[in-house]
Structure 1
């Protein structure tokens, strides 16, 4: 049995990830794909507890290296108990964020060494990488305005604007470095156009499977 495809969706705050995750899920299922939908950090009870620790506002400042290690601890649990078994049975996996977010948020945002992240990536993931990553891209200020209208912000969403500019830049750099494995979607356009772009890419990916 051929392994399934591993698809991730990334982006800064306010790009419409939740809405477009639901669209991608529905579109792939209409194509007949046997699909598992999950998220990072999270996807298992332990990883969801780590997510809560990561996102909660607190008086104590969170050391960036501690944050990084919690992200990869959640990822190790998620990969080995959910993602890898699903792919092995031929299911496709659609994941809201993955390691690109770590390079963007902890690497560029927190200014942690990229080679440290790369070592942890290799330790935790081995050779597993997404087959395709969709990066929903938007002007940072516009995205933060959208995020602010959703309600109370989590610990990451309250960062200063420069943090998110660095995050966005890292996403763009990673997409430019591996164009075969990334598609950058303009999330600032009307939702109908965003989803038209996504559906065209998904149809091509399905046809190549």
Structure 2
């Protein structure tokens, strides 16, 4: 999907992914000391807003202008001390240029791209990581097609934990966790969480760290 496709999708409904943060983001990041974070493919901002509420200074980047407009509207409803920690940028994860010093946390959640584009985006994300920083990658796993539910049905944009590790080989990151995780979803075909559908989506989850300087 290109940026216009995503603009159309976001424009067609309110809060495509819901307002609550992704469960794996909460599980993996709740215990980290807040610093400066980058949320790549931030969408409507649910994960970035959650991080900012926990004290992080967050830049949310997405290539859908419609999604970012919605994120801006959500930000306007937040307390000033949270809203002031959020910055929204329109851009492409594959062309990311990190600021000097990098980020203490880079989050890449459900950025589903063909393999070459994914590799480029993930390497850019890794290069944006400051010494001692954390990179968390979460996405629809390839096995979701046969064993799970929801998410893209195109195998070209799905990946596995091993794919992520291969993409980032040689980038000096230590693997903290690389696994498939099951996420209960509702009755809809996307990756909105919760509900009573009794079905699981299968996600690839990879958490890596850069050594301290």
TM-score category, normalised to shorter length: 0.3 to 0.5
**Higher strand proportion (structure 1 or 2):** 2
- State the TM-score, normalized to the length of structure 2: 0.37
**Higher helix proportion (structure 1 or 2):** 1
- State the TM-score, normalized to the length of structure 1: 0.38
Q: Which structure is higher in RCO with an 8 Å CA cutoff and minimum separation 6? A: 1
